[in-house]
């Protein structure tokens, strides 16, 4: 008899990612806008529709990582009503299998822990995760599989919005890589500053983290802007857009086995 299908839900500040797994295979994935003003019923209509259109069998387990506290009651009700089971919510009391060396472990975001678990399971060595989402977050995992700490910076989208909102003559542009670093018009100049500026940010922080640790690390990137930044980066080794969802599945398996 095959294991029940699993649903992972990653709630970030701007987007909510959902992924359905058959064993360790990600069969379906979707992205919704994160909106605490929406009710569980509204999200329920969306989720039911997505699952039905994908032809998914009944879901047997759910795990949730959320960086938006206001969304947790909504997601909990959604899981109970649509999936029919309470979710495993990443937080205090959940067995991670990873020592957290942060001064205050409870301050580490759920998505950061889940990313670290998935990344270390992939590399089995010193690893840096670069999550290029609403915020740009760097997480360092030791060769022994310990979550050591990291760096938090504003995200690329936030920088773009701030440039548009805080300047009188600059305007919002599409976030894409220009052909040249030296822009010959305002659009290309802004795109260059944003994209290549964040490439330099990523490479500079990663290099400093490795220098401080005194060892090389495998660097994995994920998040909304990973595919935009990674091709120009000298330090990112690979991109996995589903790293958090995979980490949620691993975390659920660890808690199921030890539960």
Which residue numbers are catalytic? Answer: 111
| Torsion angle (degrees, nearest 10) of CA 220, 123, 251, 20 | 60
> How far is residue 184's CA from residue 204's CA, in Å, rounded to a whole number?
26
Rg (CA), the chain: 19
The secondary structure element, H or E, covering residue 44 is helix 40-54
Q: From edge to edge, which strands make up the β-sheet containing 238-239?
A: 147-154, 135-141, 127-132, 218-222, 238-239
Please give the C-alpha separations between residue 220 and each of 144, 189, 205, 237, in angstroms, as whole numbers. 17, 28, 14, 6
> How far is residue 44's CA from residue 22's CA, in Å, rounded to a whole number?
21
CB 97 within 8 A of CB 117: yes
Q: Which two tokens stand for residue 127?
A: 């690893």
Residue reference for tokens 């359905």: 20
Please give the C-alpha separations between residue 96 and each of 6, 212, 249, in angstroms, as whole numbers. 18, 26, 12
């Amino acid at each position: 008899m095959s294991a029940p299908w699993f649903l992972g839900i990653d709630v970030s500040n701007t987007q909510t990612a959902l992924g359905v797994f058959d064993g360790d295979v990600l069969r379906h994935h979707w992205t919704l806008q994160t909106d605490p003003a929406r009710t569980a019923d509204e999200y329920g209509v969306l989720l039911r529709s997505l699952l039905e259109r994908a032809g998914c069998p009944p879901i047997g387990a759910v795990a949730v990582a959320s960086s938006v506290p206001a969304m947790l009651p909504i997601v909990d009700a959604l899981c109970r009503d649509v999936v029919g089971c309470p979710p495993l919510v990443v937080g205090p009391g959940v067995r991670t299998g990873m020592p957290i060396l942060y001064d205050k472990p409870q301050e580490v975001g759920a998505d950061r822990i889940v990313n670290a678990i998935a990344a270390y399971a992939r590399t089995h060595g010193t690893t840096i995760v670069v999550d290029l989402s609403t915020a740009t977050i760097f997480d360092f995992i030791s060769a022994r599989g310990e979550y050591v700490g990291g760096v938090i910076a504003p995200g690329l989208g936030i920088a773009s919005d701030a440039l548009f909102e805080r300047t009188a003559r600059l305007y919002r542009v599409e976030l894409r890589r220009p052909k040249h670093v030296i822009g010959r018009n305002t659009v290309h100049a802004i795109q260059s500053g944003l994209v290549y500026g964040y490439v330099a940010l990523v490479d500079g922080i990663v290099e400093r983290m490795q220098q401080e640790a005194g060892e090389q690390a495998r660097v994995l990137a994920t998040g909304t802007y990973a595919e935009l930044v990674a091709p120009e980066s000298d330090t990112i080794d690979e991109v996995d857009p589903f790293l958090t969802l995979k980490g949620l599945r691993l975390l659920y398996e660890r808690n199921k086995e030890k539960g």
